[in-house]
Structure 1
Amino acid sequence: MLSASAVALRAGARRTVRRVPLRSRAPALSAVPGAVRRHRPFSTSAARTADLSTRAMIVQTLSSVGSKREVQQYLSLFTSVSSQRFAVIKVGGAILTDYLDELCSSLAFLYTVGLYPVIVHGAGPQLNTLLEQAGVEPQFEEGIRVTDAKTLRVARDLFLRENMKLVDKLEEKGVHAQPLTTGMFRAEYLNRDKWGYVGKITGVNKQSIETAINNGYLPILTSMAETDDGQILNVNADVAAAELARALQPLKVVYLSEKGGLFDAAGQKISAINLDEEYEHLMSQPWVKYGTRLKIKESKELLDTLPRSSSVAIIHPEQLQKELFTDSGAGTLIRRGSKLLSATSLSEFKDLDALKAVLVRDRDGPNAMAAVDKYLEFLGQNDFKAYYDDAMNALAIVLPASNGRQATLATLTITKSGWLTNIADNIFTALRKDHPQLVWTVKEDDENLGWFFDKASGSVTNNGSVMFWYGIDNTDEVFQLMKDFAEHGRAMLGDSNLESRLHRAATSGANPAAQQVRAYSTLARRPVLAAPRFGGQASSGRTFVTQTNPNPPIGKKNASKSQPARIALIGARGYTGQELIRLLDSHPNMDLRHVSSRELAGQKLAGYDKREVIYENLSPEDVRDMERRGDIDCWVMALPNGVCKPFVEAVYEGRKGSNHKSVIVDLSADYRFDSTWTYGLPELVPREHITQATQIANPGCYATAAQLGIAPLVPHLGGMPHVFGVSGYSGAGTKPSPKNDVALLTDNIIPYSLTGHIHEREVSTQLGAQIAFVPHVAVWFRGIHHTISIPLAKTMTSRDIRQIYQDRYAGEKLVKVVGEAPLVKNISGKHGVEIGGFEVDKSGRRVVVCATIDNLLKGAATQCLQNMNLALGYAEYEGIPVM
């Protein structure tokens, strides 16, 4: 009984967003305690009486980072509380120096839609610089700045200047901001003997904040406190933000960070942390140390004192809107979460009437309660496991696997509050732990359909419903699911005919799980927006075959077949052909039937154990006839450049007069510039294009690494990237030449094709940006290293750039973003690409990025298999050991 669609936004009509009331006459600014006097006229229009048309325009603008539904949901949530309880935002000194404009633009958006965050800022880096200029060496004890009288004077003047700089910048953007620089925090000495003029906050002046907001001003606070007798004390800005949050009890506590979040041991951004479920585990991990450990610990200590609806977000200022107004977010979200309960019998529920109320809340009609009674009767007689939070904001009921059928998610009902507080994600995390395979269905018009796509590893649509599944890798099982779904549809799967389904199940004794078709799930915090794709085509908005879920839905070509795909390899003598043979040998759904090599004809194929295969010398005529008979599902052309055309044309000829249409994957460069062929680089070309393709040009090895190394920065290019590439001699093939002569290469490196190399044209064409490429060959056997110098259109930091790459390749199983420059010896024999380095020169306008790839695997055979999997309808990484 899947009712997630009604759940998300059906729990009552969408509330009209409350506009913050403004007084017709504002009190004088001097009446605000602690305010630095700023003489400016008070204008009602400038003070936030934005009319509905302005609001609609802003909502539309915000919708560029998420769906309109998401924006409206979060606006309703944020404006459902008093203004001062929306958010506390801590701004570090580095943000004021490097990202002031981005910060103020983000705050201007919030201000325009009637949201008034309370801002508290620090100025640590600026203070260090000023102290050094004054001949004072900064001192720290236990991470706390030792503050003597001279340091305090410098800090006080600096904080006032930085505060006014932020206020003035906001004013330029039409935002009325109120500087609150004194009297906001009461404090006592933390330890005068040890730290000097450092304070421990004992109280917060909420009245000044409320007065500023009620008069249409954003409150801008400094992290300076005062004792009862008026002595100014220095306070850490993070500490000040936490105490401010404890006083105001906001929905959000936001820490703006250059890094844009917390990162795990692999350097990947942590999307969300549910403290109740994950804290102990996280704190036991060896990689959780230093700043990461401290921030998680401090967040827990803070959130333990706030309402359960509050959360902490660590985010880059440029992505503040995305963090606040989309399901996917952008930084790291830390929340207490909700402790999930479970039950395997009705007697374990505290209140059956409450359970009935939950089950009936998404059903309409006079027979709704009768249907629920039948459902409970069925549950009382059959095995199930229920997952729910104490407030019943979310409830999932799973019917276990039985009789060869996978576990079925029979019920999922989630209130609006459950969605917005991410209980839904907690539920799916629990489902993943307990059920390695799961199936469910959702209506095709469900407003949360993108969320379900991000939870699944496969899906299929039929007659207005979508069946999802995860954990089901066996092709026969998938085909059976699809067959059941096509025959029975949603009537056998979900809410639309619950009464008849339960009646049949109850009277026949059959388990509905045996009649239902299943659906799917993955572990993402919130749905993820697709990243831009290159190669002359762009993809935006949500798409199934994107970063958090790269495996595409089952394709159409083999949907009706139970046998493995039949593969023919033309040109198997080279290194790439041998690597592909090894991969096909372990692939569960591909069968290598024919291998053509003129030199090896008549010999037994080594390295393939599924069947005995004898090398053949297939002619174009043989290929034509085999295609006409429908003998082959996929042709792989592993021939040198300029040789495969007769074989490709033979396939074309064989298709005439035949209903059969095989897939062709060409490993040469012959068709990489042919617009009628699909360029097969799944990480950059929309995967749905590959799943629908019948002729795929496999990218070059140099070109794959170069494109992946440059693509995330294409929007930021300030000039032509230069690629210095060095390959092992296996890239020169098996035919003897100076480029694979080990004696010549020993103690040597050979440059070649200094200008106009075909990969230079390939990369430039696919990225839509001109690049320069100089290839070299060295004495090692396999592996490529690229050192790429990239001019930037604006000043950026190494952290900025690394974050861009991490975001771009999040979830891509064959792309690993590392910190240091990657090494060839570490990529040899592996199936992906490593990208690192990210060193920016002193100007901040040029970065050097390094990329490594095994030229025989991801540079050729592995990528070929990715494309074959996608085009033939299998999971993208089937048969590929991921990184």
Structure 2
Amino acid sequence: MLSACAVALRAGARRSVRRLPTRPRTAAAVPPALRLSRPLSSSAARPTDLTTRGMIVQTLSSVGSKREVQQYLSLFTSVSSQRFAVIKVGGAILTDYLDELCSSLAFLYTVGLFPIIVHGAGPQLNELLQQAGVEPQFEEGIRVTDAKTLRVARDLFLQENLKLINKLEEKGVHAQPLTTGILRADYLDKDKWGMVGKITGVDKKPIETAINNGYLPVLTSMAETDGGQILNVNADVAAAELARAMEPLKVVYLSEKGGLFDNAGQKISAINLDEEFDHLMSQSWVKYGTRLKIKEIKELLDTLPRATSVAIIHPGDLQKELFTDSGAGTLIRRGNKLHSATSLAQFKDLDDLKTVLIRDREGADGMATATKYLDFLAENDFKAYYDGPMNALAIVLPAKNGRKATLSTLTITKSGWLTNVADNIFTTLRKEHPQLVWTVREDDENLGWFFDKADGSVTNDGSVMFWYGIDNSNEVVELMTDFTQHGRAMLGDSNLESRLHRAVGNGAKPFAQPTRTYSTLARRPTTFPGLTGRRTYVTQTNPNPPYGKKNASKDQPARVALIGARGYTGQELIRLLDSHPNMDLRHVSSRELAGTKLEGYNKREVIYENLSPEDVRDMESRGDIDCWVMALPNGVCKPFVEAVYEGRKASDHKSVIVDLSADYRFDNSWTYGLPELVTRGDIAQATQIANPGCYATAAQLGIAPLVPHLGGMPHIFGVSGYSGAGTKPSPKNDVSVLTGNIIPYSLTGHIHEREVSSQLGAEVAFIPHVAVWFRGIHHTISIPLNKTMTSRDIRQIYQDRYAGEKLVKVVGEAPLVKNISGKHGVEIGGFEVDKAGKRVVVCATIDNLLKGAATQCLQNMNLALGYAEYEGIPIM
């Protein structure tokens, strides 16, 4: 079956109609490829900007993973600097989004990338002509340019060019204006349009010289005849001709709308022209500007190398489009047409096919294994799908003798990733195979992509079986049972191909999908007994789920031990476990309560114990426990964690540890367990998880969507009920002291301040307080912005960011503590912007004992143990 295989870089998120938004990532260290490639100008004044390094860290943590950024940097730097990108900037962008544009260009410059900028100034020209009493005239969409209009346009273009250059210099970017002598032209039609040019040539030398000297070239859309006459040229046309001359990897058109849109008003994420152009042109909604733009881009790309693509994006999304798998706007490329074959004779060269089958093969027996696999295909029905260069190959064994159609092979090269072939193939598979089953190794880094493609999955013995299109619950249960009992053999293939592939083509590591890939949004309501969601990213469980991964027996629920059960959080977790259908609390440890009966747990009688680290070690070595929950005060649980480590040495058993304290939140060997912001696939694969703090969870969720737009340090005013101070008596949980009062504490340097700053990749200030109510936290967060924004803009960002998150609710008004008490999620609202539009106040509320602790712990346990994420959690 299918083993670790490559994923197209736009996979899952890059569809031809729409794409779910991606979520920000947690901060990552700046990789060597992102260190400063040259010193910034010492004269650059950046009083309100973030430091260059801070900007890079924010970019990495908010628009994509470190791995994504490094991959795209590798791609962009694989060609000469002049061939990176041509970016067309419209006049409206220079007026309304200058700061965002220059910040994005500064990032590119800092990492050693030199886009060629060409700009227009159409809206400004209309306004100036109107002020001068000149009525703009257009013929067939082209501005008629007389001598007076040209004079105004020339002065305006020089002025706008200087404005852009100065803004770039402020941000430490050396830029060179190239306003004459680059574009050669003849009159387009002098009688009809006057002094409007048709470009006949591009002088590349000044552009190449500027880049070689470390300057970004900034061009105006003005051209000259051989006789020296200045002519007006449309900026889109100028960008296209520059692209033809420079043959860049990317051609970028910056647009206020941020892309092209379909008839339902949804942004079109990607268009592969070889596959979709004729179909698009036949659609009634593809008309006017959209039709013209697609047609012009096709004409452009037909004259450029196949690797070149066009992106139509908002200026604020430039980094996301260039450096992430999901992109941000509309990506248009020629792509490759898919071919199919139903017999080996239809392949031109079987030796080439063997080479494709073994290109990911580790070991000396690859050719022999491939030969046996081809012998198997020669005697059995199959259908293969591949592109012309064979950068991608999928082989499906059809349904037969009660066996479902099976995806037996999928291998993608690095080049295949970059041309989005994987998604194209899977789209074709869905069209031709209403039902499909496949397996993937459990440690495959691309599990998120497969989860996104599947309707359900089940894990067993190091493999994950996926399926789509199987709606009959009895068939699903039978499929899952057969897989857990018989493994891959029940799928009916030769099991030869399953041994072929372990890594991606060309020796590169596969890419994980954007976090939104792991969304728990269901495609349609689930009707299967025991299945809680159609797109959970771990196993879809039956009443007797297999837990081969974490060593739990397949005929019993996961066994849980709770160390430190006396506190409020421990009691809440016990209550949740009592109603969980697939977890069994076996042991609770409390020195003070040892020997007494555990109240509130009804599945079995449990007596409190005083477990020592030695007891924990022995239980781990015997494989008695599947999940240890450490609910101890800060600084106390280390001996118990080390006991688990010691117990693992004596057996093959490897349980999951979830620590509710702060002891391991800054330890990179532990997975930080905030599912809404951390890649869920990482949590699903983890065996040691640091549960975030309550204050920190609400603060991160309240700030994360605006990290790309920070103009300074966010300040968090947090107030918690006194349950947050624990059960040990102190002034912070003394009702008599708190009545009519509010107590600030840890005015600077609180551990949650470090936690939030570390995870977001941006420094924050946090001032915690305690008040007289029992449970619930309220944050009032003041966030400086790096650009002017409206309240509506910001609220939309949050709604898009948390779309589909069942435990995050975005509201209009500032949320109230009394409304979140006893609830399992977070409410975020307020979004009030100051008069200047450069600061917003966001409010967030959370129950510190639930989503701030016990509920989040259960989310992490579910993921790590192979259950659906929200199993046992009442949804908001």
Please name the residue that 1:566 is paired with.
559
- Select 1:847's aligned residue among 830, 840, 859: 840
Q: Give the Å deviation of 1:708.
A: 2.6
Q: Secondary structure at the residue paired with 2:861?
A: helix
Residue-by-residue CA offset, 1:739-795 (whole Å, 9 max, x unaligned): 99xxxxxxxx998544117999352242254412456688xx997653311346x66
- Select 1:620's aligned residue among 610, 627, 647: 610
Please name the residue that 2:852 is paired with.
859
Pair 1:761-2:773 in alignment:
no
Superposed, 1:411-810 pairs within 5 Å as 411-414=409-412, 417-430=415-428, 434=433, 437-440=437-440, 470=466, 511-513=493-495, 516=498, 527=512, 558-559=550-551, 561-562=553-554, 563-567=556-560, 581=575, 585=579, 587=581, 589-592=582-585, 613=603, 618-620=608-610, 632-634=625-627, 680-682=673-675, 698-710=691-703, 718-719=712-713, 721-723=715-717, 753-756=742-745, 761-768=750-757, 769-774=764-769, 786-791=779-784, 797=789
TM-score computed with the length of structure 2 as normaliser:
0.60
Please name the residue that 1:160 is paired with.
158
Q: 1:836 to 1:338 in 2, by over 3 A?
A: farther
Please name the residue that 1:23 is paired with.
none
Q: Give the Å deviation of 1:122.
A: 3.2
Structure-1 separation of matches of 2:478 and 2:851:
24
Superposed, 1:73-88 pairs within 5 Å as 73-76=75-78, 87=86
Structure-2 separation of matches of 1:691 and 1:821:
35
> Which consecutive unaligned segments of at least 5 residues does structure 1 have?
9-60, 193-198, 486-491, 493-504, 532-547, 607-611, 741-748
For 1:90, give the aligned amino acid: V
Residue-by-residue CA offset, 1:206-230 (whole Å, 9 max, x unaligned): 4144565577677744356999999
For 2:753, give the aligned amino acid: S
Q: 1:180 to 1:689 in 2, by over 3 A?
A: same
Please name the residue that 1:205 is paired with.
199
TM-score computed with the length of structure 1 as normaliser:
0.59
Q: Give the Å deviation of 1:564.
A: 2.4
Q: 1:841 to 1:623 in 2, by over 3 A?
A: same
Q: 1:251 to 1:210 in 2, by over 3 A?
A: same
Q: Give the Å deviation of 1:868.
A: 1.8
Structure-1 separation of matches of 2:812 and 2:144:
34
Structure-2 separation of matches of 1:265 and 1:594:
58
Structure-2 separation of matches of 1:141 and 1:750:
75
Structure-2 separation of matches of 1:282 and 1:816:
37
- Select 2:861's aligned residue among 868, 873, 883: 868
Structure-2 separation of matches of 1:725 and 1:262:
45
Please name the residue that 1:352 is paired with.
347
Structure-2 separation of matches of 1:185 and 1:788:
58
Pairs aligned (count):
739
Structure-2 separation of matches of 1:858 and 1:638:
15
Q: Give the Å deviation of 1:396.
A: 1.4
Q: Give the Å deviation of 1:255.
A: 2.1
- Select 1:332's aligned residue among 329, 346, 350: 329
Q: Retained in 2: the 8 A contact 1:406–1:438? A: no
Structure-2 separation of matches of 1:106 and 1:177:
19
Structure-2 separation of matches of 1:856 and 1:262:
45
Q: Retained in 1: the 8 A contact 2:459–2:548? A: no
Structure-2 separation of matches of 1:774 and 1:733:
14
Q: 1:777 to 1:419 in 2, by over 3 A?
A: same
Q: Retained in 1: the 8 A contact 2:673–2:683? A: yes
Please name the residue that 1:304 is paired with.
298
Q: Retained in 2: the 8 A contact 1:481–1:518? A: no
Q: Give the Å deviation of 1:117.
A: 3.4
Residue-by-residue CA offset, 1:386-443 (whole Å, 9 max, x unaligned): 222356442211345789988765434546643332223423455577566422469x
For 1:119, give the aligned amino acid: V
Q: Retained in 2: the 8 A contact 1:481–1:517? A: no
Q: Give the Å deviation of 1:565.
A: 0.8
Structure-1 separation of matches of 2:225 and 2:373:
64
Q: Retained in 2: the 8 A contact 1:725–1:784? A: yes
Q: Give the Å deviation of 1:853.
A: 4.3
Structure-2 separation of matches of 1:439 and 1:294:
45
Q: Secondary structure at the residue paired with 1:620?
A: coil
For 1:558, give the aligned amino acid: K
Q: Give the Å deviation of 1:721.
A: 0.6
Please name the residue that 2:89 is paired with.
90
Q: Give the Å deviation of 1:851.
A: 3.2
Residue-by-residue CA offset, 1:490-539 (whole Å, 9 max, x unaligned): xx9xxxxxxxxxxxx9xxx97314984799999x99756899xxxxxxxx
Q: Secondary structure at the residue paired with 1:723?
A: strand
Pair 1:178-2:186 in alignment:
no
Identity of aligned residues (%): 46
For 2:418, give the aligned amino acid: L
Q: Give the Å deviation of 1:254.
A: 0.1
Q: Give the Å deviation of 1:336.
A: 4.6
Q: Secondary structure at the residue paired with 2:744?
A: coil
Q: Retained in 1: the 8 A contact 2:76–2:84? A: no
Residue-by-residue CA offset, 1:675-701 (whole Å, 9 max, x unaligned): 899874455678799779888664454
Q: Give the Å deviation of 1:566.
A: 1.7
Q: Give the Å deviation of 1:162.
A: 1.2
Q: Retained in 1: the 8 A contact 2:221–2:234? A: yes
- Select 1:387's aligned residue among 362, 385, 388: 385
Structure-1 separation of matches of 2:150 and 2:772:
60
- Higher RCO (CA-CA < 8 Å; seq separation 6+): 2
Q: Secondary structure at the residue paired with 1:306?
A: helix
Residue-by-residue CA offset, 1:259-286 (whole Å, 9 max, x unaligned): 877899999998645467789999999x
Q: Retained in 2: the 8 A contact 1:327–1:526? A: no
Residue-by-residue CA offset, 1:369-389 (whole Å, 9 max, x unaligned): 997675444224324332223
Q: Retained in 1: the 8 A contact 2:589–2:611? A: no
Structure-2 separation of matches of 1:776 and 1:151:
67
Q: Secondary structure at the residue paired with 2:753?
A: helix
Q: Secondary structure at the residue paired with 2:299?
A: coil
Residue-by-residue CA offset, 1:184-206 (whole Å, 9 max, x unaligned): 5855699x9xxxxxx79986314
Q: 1:776 to 1:791 in 2, by over 3 A?
A: farther
Q: Secondary structure at the residue paired with 1:207?
A: strand
Q: Give the Å deviation of 1:856.
A: 6.2
Q: 1:603 to 1:846 in 2, by over 3 A?
A: closer
Q: 1:785 to 1:437 in 2, by over 3 A?
A: farther
For 2:745, give the aligned amino acid: G
Q: Retained in 2: the 8 A contact 1:106–1:320? A: no
Q: Secondary structure at the residue paired with 2:348?
A: helix
